[in-house]
Amino acid sequence: MVSPRVIRNLKREFRRSALAKTGLLLAFIVVFVAIFAPFVAPHNPTTQNLDNSRQPPLGFTRTVESTSSELVNGSVVIVNETKQVNATTEHPFGTDSLGRDMFSRVVYGARTSLLVGILGTLLAVTVGVTVGLTAGYKRGRLDDILMRSADISLSFPSLVLAIALIGLWGRAAVEVPDPWVVLGLVDGMPREFVLPGTVIVVVGLVNWVWFARVARGEALSIREEEYVKAARAIGASDLRIIWRHVLPNAATPILVLGTIQIAAIILLESSLSFLGFSGTTLSWGFDISQGRDYLASAWWISTIPGLAIVVAVIGINLLGDWLRDALDPGIEGEGGV
């Protein structure tokens, strides 16, 4: 399925486009960090240290004004003290309101985001491509029923739909043992991480429509190819034709859409955890909502996870653009400047 021509196109586009390089680098960093989170993170992301809360990130200081009163010679003296809290290399991104290391939290947050992004996209691809290929290949009434129901589910705003579904099903979360910790390779890190099950299902079900539409369009054109007719003439079943002839020839746009949808789903997951629907507390969106109350005094608690989202989403989108420009000669790339 992966022909030499595809690889050549990918390489050529990669050489030509600085954005593709950036995208691959960013995406690689996010994936690497997510997989090897226990090695990358310097601290346990859940360990609190209230004595060391709201420590600023490297290069910044925080001014703390504390007012205390003392009884000096029978009268109350109010002392205004201005203290500088300095950044330490121990917490390069600072600490949050409970003294947890922001860098470790961002590292672990990559896990949640990427897992939800990838698993949610896989679910959306499975549902959407199945529906789309069936609708496009069979046409007729089945096509109408499937695609109109897709349109109906598209008419709900995705965030509202997601919240409604989570409200309906609850926030089921699965605790998955962290293989690195279980194998004893790292000490002092959380023994398991939380897989927000409901969120994955919900983001998958909210986003399947895009895949259904793309797959249907491809199936509609591929089914008219002579080789599909030829396959039917030799007695191949519909399912065989869909697997062997339609799906492989529809794979490219689905792959490109899938990459871009991972980024969209990461955004949706962050919105959901920001609103408190995620089921895990190690998530970029959740950290942003935690830091909201401290925006005036400790901006980094919200800003740093926000930047992490930006990096991940931009990286994955650039990756998607690269795949699109390289694999789909029909579209002139805007990314190749």
Assess contact for 210 and 268: CB atoms under 8 A.
no
Instruction: Look at residue 104 and give its three-state secondary structure.
Output: helix
* Minimal distance, residue 106 CB to another protein, in Å: 33
Min separation Cβ 2 and another protein, Å: 10
Complex with another protein: residue 15 or 229, whichever CB lies closer: 229
Q: Where are the beta strands (DSSP E) in the chain?
A: 61-72, 75-86, 174-177, 192-195
Q: How many CB atoms lie within 10 A of CB 183?
A: 9
CB of 225 to another protein, least distance (A): 7
Read off the tokens for 151.
């349109």
Nearer to another protein, 81 or 226 (CB): 226
The pair of three-digit structure tokens given for residue 43, joined into one six-digit string:
């601290």
Least distance to another protein, CB of residue 35, Å: 20
Q: Token pair for residue 321?
A: 């653009």
Residues near another protein, by CB under 8 A: 1, 3, 139-140, 225-227, 229-237, 239-240, 242-245, 248-249
Q: Closest CB to another protein among 122 and 275?
A: 122
Contact at 8 Å (CB) between 209 and 150? Answer: yes
In the complex, least distance from residue 140 CB atom to another protein, rounded to whole angstroms? 6
Q: Which is nearer to another protein, 185 or 239 (CB)?
A: 239
Question: Token pair for residue 157?
Answer: 């705003």
Beta-carbon count within 10 A of 184 CB: 7
Between 63 and 237, CB nearer to another protein = 237
Q: Based on CB atoms, which residue is closest to another protein, 3 or 67?
A: 3
CA distances, 33 to each of 19, 44, 169, 276, 312 (Å): 21, 15, 31, 24, 11
Q: Shortest distance, CB of residue 254 to another protein, whole angstroms?
A: 14
Q: Which is nearer to another protein, 140 or 330 (CB)?
A: 140
Report the C-alpha gap between 220 and 35 in whole angstroms. 39
Our CB check for another protein shows the closer of 88 and 237 to be 237
DSSP codes joined into one string, 13-65: HHHH-HHHHHHHHHHHHHHHHHHTHHHH-SS-TT---GGGTTPPPTT-EEEEE
3-class DSSP state of 252 = helix
Torsion angle of alpha carbons 202, 303, 311, 250, nearest 10°?
A: 20
> How far apart are CB 232 and another protein at their closest, in Å?
6
| Closest distance to another protein from the beta carbon of 231 (Å) | 8
> How far apart (Å, rounded) are the C-alpha atoms in residues 151 and 85?
54
